[in-house]
Amino acid sequence: MRRRLPGGDDLARPRADAGTHRHGAPGGGDRCPRHAGRPVGGPAHPLQGTQAALASRHRADGRRRRSGEGATRRRRVRRDRSRDDGDRGLRSARPGDLSPASCSQRGRLVGARSKDRGRSAGSAPRACRRVASRAVTRVAVIGAGSWGTAAAAILTKHAEVTLWARDDALARTIQRVHVNPRYLPGIALPETLCASSDLVGTCTGADVIVVAVPSHGFRDVLTAAASAIPDDVPVLSLSKGVEQQTHLRMTEVVSDVLPTHSRERIGVLTGPNLAREVAEAQPTASVIAMRDPDTAEELQRLFMTSTFRVYTNPDVVGCEIAGALKNVIAIA
């Protein structure tokens, strides 16, 4: 049966791009076991330029494989790659590999402050503070809407998370029954997720600040929390859009409200995401745009799950504008 199968990317017979052979029916040409290097169904033609060089190298590689050459080199490369896997960084990581145990190997977030940065008296209840055997990254998520709640639930897989809600009754409900009935009804939230209506207390002592409030209220909420946000703590916006009065992007609003904050550690998480689908663990992807690549990779580690794949990108402006335009196109 295998002898009757085509050797490459050929189309099913009959063929229109090759003539008859003796008294047989027309058949396809170039039946070597390789990619066609041409449009499907198009006639074969001489390769030129870069394609010719690639084809020549491919044929040379094939001859080495048939003659046994290069086997030693391939084995050596495989050994080198396996030795370097631990240092390859998050760009090659698979979501399934990012368990809490694997995250602990890197310790606390890049640039995280020391443990002497205690919580204020008005911080989240003591019952929310889990004791673990590994170094814990504390994340404050500002905004208990649908997207903020979904993001907070994801982050609990790799960090200690407190979700701030403007409404004290909503915060108490999330804290007590682990459900956000107002914005994500029917979705069970992790029991390790804490909720609080104390904005300054939520941000005090956090290693990462995630802001997930609508663009029209972004500045006022961040201004109220500014006193609890140190200059070296990463601030990540989850909000799409621009400020109506100033036409500033959300990362620009962060820089405006926190003028002494490190610009390299202000970024945005954006993508074609729907909060309920993310909360239901439906497969999706997003991107973290931040100028500091090390911090971006650590944030990538915090957000990555088996169903939520996160990429990094240094183009903060492009990613942020694309997120805003996506909503305009969706509405139109």
Angle at 121 between CA 116 and CA 124, to 5 degrees: 90
Which pairing describes strands 138-142 and 208-211: parallel, antiparallel, or unpaired?
A: parallel
Catalytic positions are: 326
Report pLDDT digits (tens) over 161-183: 999 999 999 999 999 999 999 99
Residue 323's pLDDT band, with cuts at 50, 70 and 90, is confident
Question: For residue 30, is it left (φ>0), alpha (ψ between -120 and 50) or beta?
Answer: left
Which residues are CB-neighbours of 277 under 8 A, at least 6 positions away? 284
CA atoms within 13 A on the CB side of 124: 29
Averaged over 15-28, what is the pLDDT? 51
Give me the pLDDT at residue 57, please. 61
Q: 276 pLDDT exceeds 50?
A: yes
Strands of the chain, DSSP E: 138-142, 160-164, 179-180, 184-188, 194-196, 208-211, 235-237, 266-270, 284-289, 308-313
Give me the pLDDT at residue 82, please. 43
Give me the pLDDT at residue 324, please. 84
Give me the pLDDT at residue 133, please. 35
Q: 184 pLDDT exceeds 70?
A: yes
Give me the pLDDT at residue 87, please. 42
The token duo for 137 is 């990254």
Q: 127 pLDDT exceeds 50?
A: no
Alpha-carbon torsion, ordered 115, 117, 122, 127, to 10 deg = -10
Q: CA-CA distance, 109 to 325, in Å (whole number)?
A: 32
Give all domains of the chain, ordered by start, each with its CATH number: 130-331 (3.40.50.720)
Comparing 286 with 19, the larger pLDDT belongs to 286
Report pLDDT digits (tens) over 73-123: 444 444 444 444 444 344 434 333 333 333 333 344 544 443 344 443 344
Contact yes or no for 317/256 (Cβ under 8 A) = no
Average pLDDT, the chain: 76
Report pLDDT digits (tens) over 213-266: 999 999 999 999 999 999 999 999 999 999 999 999 999 999 999 999 999 999
- Please give the C-alpha separations between residue 173 and each of 144, 160, 183, 185, in angstroms, as whole numbers: 12, 19, 12, 12
* pTM assigned to the model: 0.63
Report pLDDT digits (tens) over 47-57: 455 555 555 66
Q: CA-CA distance, 19 to 26, in Å (whole number)?
A: 5
- Please give the C-alpha separations between residue 9 and each of 5, 12, 24, 33, 45, in angstroms, as whole numbers: 11, 10, 21, 8, 16
Which residues face 208 on adjacent strands? 139
Residue 208's pLDDT band, with cuts at 50, 70 and 90, is very high
Q: 304 pLDDT exceeds 80?
A: yes
Q: CA-CA distance, 93 to 265, in Å (whole number)?
A: 22
